[in-house]
Structure 1
């Protein structure tokens, strides 16, 4: 015996019955109307909440991205001034990594999860390695060209490569927000490149610094995009805080031996930090 049900205000009712050897044809719309959100107030409410949460997450994400960009710009200025004072790139990277490791225990108090499932150990190691190469390349660019040009070059390369990897690897469509970010990044890189070559005689007479600096920006954006794309594939199981923690730990493990072998590590003095902050 076959029973066909239809939903109404009181629940579900049998609208047709048939034996096993009988065939009863019902229009598809009458069988599956209850699955459509516009016909079910409860489903419509769920869809509305999803749209609201999606809009809220997008807004929060944009605000976080803007704050990260601001902090990254300040970091580029500080790194540039530090290299002019004789502090090496590895020392700058090591200082940043130690700072990140110091902040992570405070973040852990907010019940953040640093645990990485066993089957994702290789993925996390690959992501952290890409981030380490990206940071080293970008810090090298900071020491060669103007900070604003380095930030613009790194942002442009990362945005372009991220869009390409998103379409090719993740099979996602390009959104209007991504196109807008791509246009702004390319425009910023062009403007900063022009200002670097025309407004500063030092860089005009040392063109290799421009080529090397923007090439390092490209490498930084490339490694960052590869690592970020891989993380998006496992973000449901691995938290962003775990990536930051293990990236900082790996960066320390790589930079400490280099720093001890090639130069003496010197923490920037309070006077130096005060002068740099007053300049900003």
Structure 2
């Protein structure tokens, strides 16, 4: 039993650390010198206010946002190229003493982006201001002909002054017309001109109306009557008599309600009753008895 206990004690002594050595009472405890406190640039926290936690790292932008930024940069580069080409075109026209053929308007946002600020600087120096607001500014600047734009539903591009030096049929056919279109437009214009020339000749009805108008004007200026002979005068008198008869007939009718007329039922006259006796059927005694009963 004793050897086992000694082995366990030896194992426990190897594992446990040695006890600290005791110092004599005469020796004074030695202490390491402390470093002076470092001055911090951050302001001291006032009592009652919570500490600010450090902000977390921002997550990387999505792929769609990156592509949008790339597209915006490409558009801005194109905008700067167009502005510079317009400035060069204006200088060239002024140098040669020629007029500006075409202009365009630029609407630039008033942001702090370097590209937009550069575009604003160029436009403010060389373009004509149109309107200004808090969000954007509008300028007008001349552009050269190579800066073509798409017009309508046409798939191709053309010069804004494509009609210069062309005849009527070529202009009507359009900027992208071929020989067949030009011939068809020429035939159409020729047909319209022929129809217009034929229309200048008055028809028989138009000549008659024109003669009547001239005759009425002559008679009115001379103070003559506006009808010829007794026929027209008689017709006019008959029309007047007819109108008077109609007025008398309407006046004898009693009016019922608003806008409604009831015909008047007249009593039988004596002559009508006498005429009924002359009819053989009415003199039949059976008819007379039936009428009396």
Bucket of the pairwise TM-score, normalised by the shorter protein: under 0.3
Higher relative contact order (CA 8 A, sep 6+): 1
Q: Give the number of the structure whose alpha-carbon radius of gyration is greater.
A: 2
TM-score for the superposition, normalised by structure 1: 0.23
Greater fraction of residues in helix? 1
